[in-house]
Copies of this chain bind each other. A is one copy, B any other.
Amino acid sequence: MDTDFDVLKVDCPSRVVLQRIGDKWAPLVFQALKGGPLRFSRVRSTIQGVTPKVLTQTLRTLERDGLVRRTVFAEIPPRVEYELTPLGLTLLAPLDAVRTWAEGNAAQILAARDDYDERQAG
C-alpha cells in the first residue's frame, strides 16, 4: 500500500492536513503564488480582502508545513518574497481542481440555496 493514512479515522494526521487546506485564506495563497515568487505586499493586493495580520498568520503556517518558502533580502527598504516549495507545488493541482469547481459551480450552488430557502419559507 502507499499510505496508512485514512481521513475517516480519528486523529489521523491527514485530517489536520485537510484542515489546513480548508482554512479561509490558505487556498487563496496558493492561487496567488502559483505564478511564481511574490512579495508580501503583492500577495496582499492579489488576495482581496485579507488583512496583514491574517495573511502573515497564514503564510507562517504554510511555511511551517513546508508548503511555502519565505526569503528575506537584506535590503533597504526590506524585501521578503514568498514562493511555493516543491511540496507546495504538488498540492497546486488538486487545489486548482477544487478552485475550478468552485468557480464553475458557484452559480448552481447559490441557486440550490435559494430553492431550499424558498421551500423552507413557503
Contact = CB atoms under 8 A, between A and B. Distances in A.
Interface of A: 2-3, 5-24, 27-28, 31-32, 46-49, 63-67, 87, 90-91, 93-95, 97-113, 115-117
A8 B48 contact: yes
Contacts of A2: 104
A108 B94 contact: no
Contact of A65 (B12, B65, B113): B113
Task: Give the copy number.
Answer: 2
Contact of A48 (B10, B16, B48, B103): B10
A64 to B, nearest CB: 4
B5 A106 contact: yes
A108 B89 CA distance: 14
Given A8-B48, A17-B101, 17 more contacts: A5-B103, A5-B104, A6-B103, A7-B28, A10-B49, A13-B110, A14-B106, A16-B106, A18-B98, A20-B109, A21-B102, A22-B22, A64-B112, A64-B116, A93-B97, A94-B94, A94-B100
